[in-house]
């Protein structure tokens, strides 16, 4: 049995407690400063209000101001905050994280800087005391994992990634259940890049529902699966380029973190809903303000986070813009309220061109 702290009581952080509790671990679920109502509801009813699922009786809920109490004797700390909360998580963990306790990230995303792009685990590590940064073990979970399904024990397949193969093997043993299937990979850069990039390409696939609605019903009731599939394929193509640019391995693109996670994210949800509005011709800022003001749209959030850096890197020749035409298009749509104009003739070109 292990003592495991999950920081973040959102849907995924809470759902992740299910296989841990089923394996007999002592799980302490610590809400963020935004999760007070969730923690109170779990205390009172043992049901997460957004997941609408029962939280295992052994999971102990804590408010964030009791993190110092919850983290005592922790064997593993799981970071399950929203990507926008990664700096907050780093600040609150920095003085409290016990020595030699690894971090396992559920939080997905990338962050742009003036001269490049960072993984979110790197950003959190920078908040730790300088003498601790090189010693803390960073690991992450990647793959197609819808929180609502995991919470009710649907079969889910993921990859746990990090640099230490022995630690990954130990984490795999902690996590695996008859329904939660875990593989390991030392390609942390590749896995984390895939699971972040999938969001912006799922948003691109979501455009099709709006374009179909705008185009009107065909006389034979034909839809636009061909178009959606091409956008999906181009997303994988560009993800492969971005993984290699970041220093990862392309193998992660064609397994659970890349193709698997992009598939499940493209099936609907908030990216799909926003994509519909954009496909209908509504500028992003208007669609966000009018229809989804309270929603986190992960694909748009990623475009805003890395968009300026991607544009700078492309202008400086450090990124090949011909290799990522769909990403550049989505950045223009989200960051500059550009209309939807899909660059079909630029697909599958660049350094990995199909015709080369």
Whether the CB-CB separation of 83 and 108 falls below 8 Å is answered with yes
Question: What per-residue confidence (pLDDT) applies to 354?
Answer: 62
Q: How many Å apart are CA 16 and CA 237, to the nearest integer?
A: 30
Q: Which tokens go with 295?
A: 């929603």
pTM: 0.95
Q: Which residues contact 96 (CB under 8 A, 6 or more apart)?
A: 67, 68, 71
pLDDT digits (tens, 9 = 90+) for 68-120: 999 999 999 999 999 999 999 999 999 999 999 999 999 999 999 999 999 99
Integer Cα distance of 279 and 212 in angstroms:
8
Is there a contact between 19 and 179 (Cβ–Cβ < 8 Å)? Answer: yes
Per the DSSP assignment, residues forming a β-bridge with 183 are 159
CB neighbour class for 3 (10 Å; exposed up to 12, middle 13-18, buried from 19): middle
C-alpha to C-alpha distance for 83 and 87, rounded to whole angstroms: 9
List of domains in the chain: 3-186 (3.40.50.720), 192-352 (1.10.1040.10)
What pLDDT score does 216 carry? Answer: 87
Question: Rg of the chain's alpha carbons, rounded to an integer?
Answer: 20
Neighbours of 47 (CB within 10 A): 12
* pLDDT at residue 353 tops 80: no
Give the phi and the psi of residue 281 in degrees, each rounded to 5. Answer: 100, 10
Assess contact for 11 and 50: CB atoms under 8 A. Answer: yes
Measure Cα distances from 86 to 111, 126, 215 in Å. Answer: 10, 11, 41
Whether 355 has a pLDDT exceeding 80, the answer reads: no
Rounded to whole angstroms, the Cα distance separating 113 from 105 reads 21
Over residues 6-62, the pLDDT tens digits come to: 999 999 999 999 999 999 999 999 999 999 999 999 999 999 999 999 999 999 999
Confidence at residue 36, expressed as pLDDT on a 0 to 100 scale: 94
What would the mean pLDDT of 317-323 be, rounded to a whole number?
Answer: 96
pLDDT tens-digit readout, 255-282 = 999 999 999 999 989 999 999 999 999 9
User: Distance between CA 240 and CA 231 in Å, rounded?
Assistant: 14
Residue 356 has pLDDT above 60, yes or no: no
Per the structure block, which two tokens stand in for 31? Answer: 């809400």
Strands 47-48 and 53-54: antiparallel
Structure confidence at residue 135 (pLDDT): 92
Place of tokens 């795999």: 172
Where does the chain show beta strands of DSSP type E?
3-7, 26-30, 47-48, 53-54, 60-62, 76-79, 103-105, 110-113, 116-119, 138-142, 156-162, 180-185
User: Could you tell me which of 263, 261, 287, 266 has the C-alpha nearest to residue 340?
Assistant: 287
**Rounded Cα gap, residues 14 and 7, in angstroms:** 9
């Amino acid at each position: 049995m292990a003592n495991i702290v999950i920081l973040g009581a959102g849907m995924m952080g809470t759902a992740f407690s299910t296989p841990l509790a089923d394996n007999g671990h002592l799980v302490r679920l610590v809400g963020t400063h935004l999760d007070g109502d969730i923690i109170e509801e779990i205390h009172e009813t043992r049901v997460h209000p957004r997941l609408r699922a029962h939280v295992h009786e052994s999971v102990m809920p804590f408010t964030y101001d009791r993190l110092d109490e919850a983290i005592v004797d922790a064997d593993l700390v799981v970071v399950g905050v929203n990507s926008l909360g990664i700096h907050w998580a780093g600040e609150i963990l920095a003085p409290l994280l016990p020595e030699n306790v690894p971090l396992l990230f559920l939080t997905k995303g990338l962050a742009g800087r003036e001269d490049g792009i960072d993984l979110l685990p790197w950003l959190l590590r920078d908040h730790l005391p300088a003498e601790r940064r090189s010693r803390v073990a960073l690991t992450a979970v990647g793959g197609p994992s819808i929180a609502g399904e995991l919470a009710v024990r649907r079969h889910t397949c993921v990859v746990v990634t990090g640099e230490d193969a022995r630690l990954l093997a130990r984490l795999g043993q902690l996590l695996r259940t008859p329904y939660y299937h875990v593989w390991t990979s030392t390609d942390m850069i590749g896995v984390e890049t895939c699971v972040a990039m999938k969001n912006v390409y799922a948003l691109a696939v979501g455009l099709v529902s709006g374009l179909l609605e705008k185009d009107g019903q065909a006389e034979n009731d034909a839809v636009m699966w061909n178009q959606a599939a091409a956008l999906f394929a181009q997303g994988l193509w560009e993800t492969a380029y971005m993984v290699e640019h970041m220093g990862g391995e392309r193998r992660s693109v064609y397994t659970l973190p890349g193709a698997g996670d992009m598939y499940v994210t493209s099936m609907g949800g908030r990216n799909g809903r926003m994509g519909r509005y954009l496909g209908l011709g509504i500028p992003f800022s208007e669609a966000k303000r009018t229809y989804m003001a309270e929603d986190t749209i992960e694909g748009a959030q990623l475009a805003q986070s890395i968009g300026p850096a991607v544009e700078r890197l492309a202008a400086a020749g450090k990124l090949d813009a011909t290799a990522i035409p769909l990403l550049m298009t989505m950045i223009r749509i989200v960051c500059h309220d550009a209309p939807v104009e899909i660059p079909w003739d630029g697909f599958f070109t660049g350094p990995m061109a199909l015709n080369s």
